[in-house]
């Protein structure tokens, strides 16, 4: 069964809307863990638009499950990751003007720079995952540069408007999932996953982790974070058999 990483960036986004100290993403991480989160995911952006250095530090000190830091390959951020030593770093593309991470990292294009970052982080005992689109060349390049895992961008599936487009996106995910496993990579999935669309993805054998943020934090407004995580965990586990 795949594990569930809860992305808490959106809690910090609400805090930043008022430049105040609530809601606290570190508190959110504790609540998510009480709801059964297997991992806590946060994105320390260069512009610190939501998660800040204080959050990263406290998350490192308090999170007792897997801590996954999403990050760009910018030198300043890599240095912070080396010092912080989260369990896993997920390398993502980052543009200042985007609302959230859009699309995957181009590992084929930035192969040499990414290989150097993977080496530095691996030396610190950090598992490295590359957030990529489900494209065979990107999967192969991720294995070539020494990544331990890939996180397949599920955005195309999540945003598909027709069942045909959804099916095509699922097929692409399945092919990259299989290729990743053949190459010895752990395969994660994330972006745009919701309570409504997680079913077919969770039913695909082979995914070892899903990272989900917006949908869980949105539901938490109504039912609380602990309960929202509990509900998503049940969906990730899939229907009970027998
Ligand atoms: N995985 C990665 C690499 C991401 O960048 C994001 C968005 O921050 C997510 C997962 C979570 O996406 P969402 O908020 O749409 O669930």
CA of 78 to the centre of ligand 1 (A): 19
Neighbours of 181 (CB within 10 A): 16
pLDDT tens digits, 5-28 = 999 999 999 999 999 999 999 999
- Token pair, residue 12, equals 């910090």
Task: From residue 89, give the alpha-carbon distance in Å to each of 30, 57, 122, 197, 221.
Answer: 20, 15, 10, 26, 28
pLDDT grade, residue 102 (50/70/90)? low
CATH 3.20.20.70 fits 3-237, yes or no: yes
> In this predicted structure, which of 38-47, 89-98, 102-111 has the lowest mean pLDDT?
89-98
CA of 242 to the centre of ligand 1 (A): 33
Please tell me whether the peptide bond between 23 and the residue prior to it is cis, using omega within 30 degrees of 0.
yes
Instruction: Give the max Cα distance, the chain.
Output: 52
Question: Is the CB–ligand 1 distance for residue 190 below 6 Å?
Answer: yes
Nearest residue (by CA) to ligand 1, atom 9, is 191
Rg for the chain (alpha carbons), in Å? 17
pLDDT tens digits, 157-194 = 999 999 999 999 999 999 999 999 999 999 999 999 99
pTM passes above 0.75: yes
- Residue ranges of domains in the chain: 3-237
Neighbours of 120 (CB within 10 A): 16
Residue with tokens 């982790």: 209
CA of 211 to the centre of ligand 1 (A): 6
pLDDT at 166: 97
Q: What is the DSSP string of the chain?
A: --EEEEE-HHHHHHHHHTTSS-S-HHHHHHHHHHTT-SEEEEE--TT-SSS-HHHHHHHHHH--SEEEEEE---HHHHHHHHHH--SEEEE----TT-SS--S---TTTTHHHHHHHHHHHHHTT-EEEEEE-S-HHHHHHHHHTT-SEEEEE-HHHHH--SHHHHHHHHHHHHHHHHHHHHTT-EEEEESS--TTTHHHHHTSTT--EEEE-HHHHHHHHHH-HHHHHHHHHHHHH-SPP-
Check 10, 31, 50, 70 and give the catalytic one: 70
Nearest to 167 by CA among 130, 208, 197, 196: 197
């Amino acid at each position: 069964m795949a594990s569930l990483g809860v992305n808490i960036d959106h809690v910090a986004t609400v805090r930043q809307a008022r430049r105040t100290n609530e809601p606290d993403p570190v508190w959110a991480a504790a609540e998510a863990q009480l709801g059964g989160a297997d991992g806590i995911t946060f994105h320390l952006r260069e512009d610190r638009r939501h998660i800040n250095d204080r959050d990263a530090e406290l998350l490192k000190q308090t999170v007792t499950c897997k801590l996954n830091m999403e990050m760009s390959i910018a030198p300043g951020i890599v240095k912070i990751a080396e010092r912080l030593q989260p369990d896993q770093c997920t390398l993502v593309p980052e543009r200042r003007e985007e609302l959230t991470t859009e699309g995957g990292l181009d590992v084929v294009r930035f192969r040499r720079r990414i290989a150097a970052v993977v080496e530095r982080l691996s030396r610190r005992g950090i598992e490295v995952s590359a957030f990529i689109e489900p494209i065979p060349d990107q999967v192969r390049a991720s294995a070539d540069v020494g990544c331990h895992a890939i996180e397949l961008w599920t955005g195309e599936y999540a945003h598909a408007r027709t069942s045909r487009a959804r099916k095509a996106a699922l097929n692409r995910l399945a092919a990259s999932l299989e290729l990743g496993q053949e190459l010895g990579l752990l395969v994660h999935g994330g972006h745009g996953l919701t309570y409504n669309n997680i079913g077919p993805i969770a039913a695909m054998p082979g995914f070892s982790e899903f990272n989900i943020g917006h949908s869980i934090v949105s539901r938490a407004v109504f039912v609380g974070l602990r309960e929202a995580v509990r509900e998503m965990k049940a969906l990730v586990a899939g229907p009970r058999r027998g």
